[in-house]
Structure 1
Amino acid sequence: MVRTLMLTAATVLGLAAHGIAADAIVGEWKATSGETVAISPCGGAYCYVVKTGKHAGKTIGKVHSTGASYEGEISDPDNGNVYGAFASVSGPSLKMKGCYMKVLCKTQTWSRL
C-alpha cells in the first residue's frame, strides 16, 4: 500500500516536472478579432503573443495564476493602451476581461484551437 502511494506520488510529480500536466491557459486561442493568440509560460507567468494577422509576433499580455483564474495586464495592439487583465478557463473557452481601473471593463470569450 505504501509502495503504491509512493509510486503514484512520484508519477504525478514527474509528470508535472515535465510539463505534461500543463496549466489550462497554455495553448493557442482564437480571439474574437479572429486572430490566433498563443499563451505560453514565460518567466513565472504566462505571456500572450499574437500569431496571425497584422500584429503577428507582438506580445500583448502577461498574467499570473491566482489558483483557478489569472490576473495581470493586456494591451490593445491597435493603440498600445494597457489594461488590467483577468482570465479564466472553462473547457474550450477562455473568458478574457480587460479593465481600466477595475471599473470600466470589456469581456471577450476566446476559443481553444
Structure 2
Amino acid sequence: MPKLFFLACLASPFMPLPAMAEPILGTWRLSNGETVTYSRCGASFCSRVETGRYQGRSVGRMDGGAPTYTGTVIDPRDGKSYDGRAEVKGDKLVLTGCVARIFCRSQTWSRHRGG
C-alpha cells in the first residue's frame, strides 16, 4: 500500500487538472432585468444580449484573464463602440466604457443563477 501511495504522488504532477473556468463566463443580469451572456470566441470573451429589446446583439469583446479584462464595449442601442474594461468581483461584474479614456461610464451586473 505505501508503494502505491508513493507512485500516485510521483504521477500526480503529470496528471491533467481540470481547466479553471474564467469568472467572466456565464450569464449576467443587468439592473433593468435583462441578461447578457459572455462566452468564449477564440482566445477572447464575446458577449450577447439574451433577453429584452436588444436580444441577439453583441455588447462587446474582452481579452485577458481574471479578475480584470480589457477590450471593447458596444452600446446595443446605437452600435457605437468604446474602450472597455470588465472586472469580476465575486458575483458582480463591473463593466466600464470610455471615450478617449477620459469620459467613462460604468454599470454593475449580477451573476444570473437562472430562474
Q: Where on the TM-score scale, by shorter chain, does this alignment land: which range? A: 0.7 to 0.9
Which runs of at least 4 in structure 1 moved beyond 4 Å after TM superposition? none
* Letter aligned with residue 27 of structure 1: G
Q: From the CA coordinates, give the structure whose radius of gyration is larger.
A: 2
C-alpha distance after superposition, 1:55-108 (max 9, x if no partner) = 111111000015531000011111111111101111100011111111100011
* Letter aligned with residue 54 of structure 2: H
* Mapped pair 1:4 → 2:9: yes
Q: CA deviation at 1:9?
A: 5.1
Could you tell me which residue of structure 2 aligns to residue 83 of structure 1? Answer: 82
* Letter aligned with residue 38 of structure 2: I
Superposition RMSD in Å: 1.7
TM-score normalised per structure 2: 0.84
Where in structure 2 are the equivalents of 1:1-113 lying within 5 Å?
3-4=8-9, 6-8=11-13, 10-12=15-17, 15-16=18-19, 21-66=20-65, 68-113=67-112
Unaligned 5+ residue runs, structure 2?
A: 1-5
Unaligned 5+ residue runs, structure 1?
A: none
* Letter aligned with residue 26 of structure 1: L
Contact 2:84 2:96 in 1 (8 A): yes
User: What is the percentage of aligned positions where both structures have the same residue?
Assistant: 35
Please state whether the residue corresponding to 2:76 is helix, strand or coil. Answer: coil
TM-score normalised per structure 1: 0.85
When the two structures are aligned, how many residues end up with a matched partner? Answer: 107
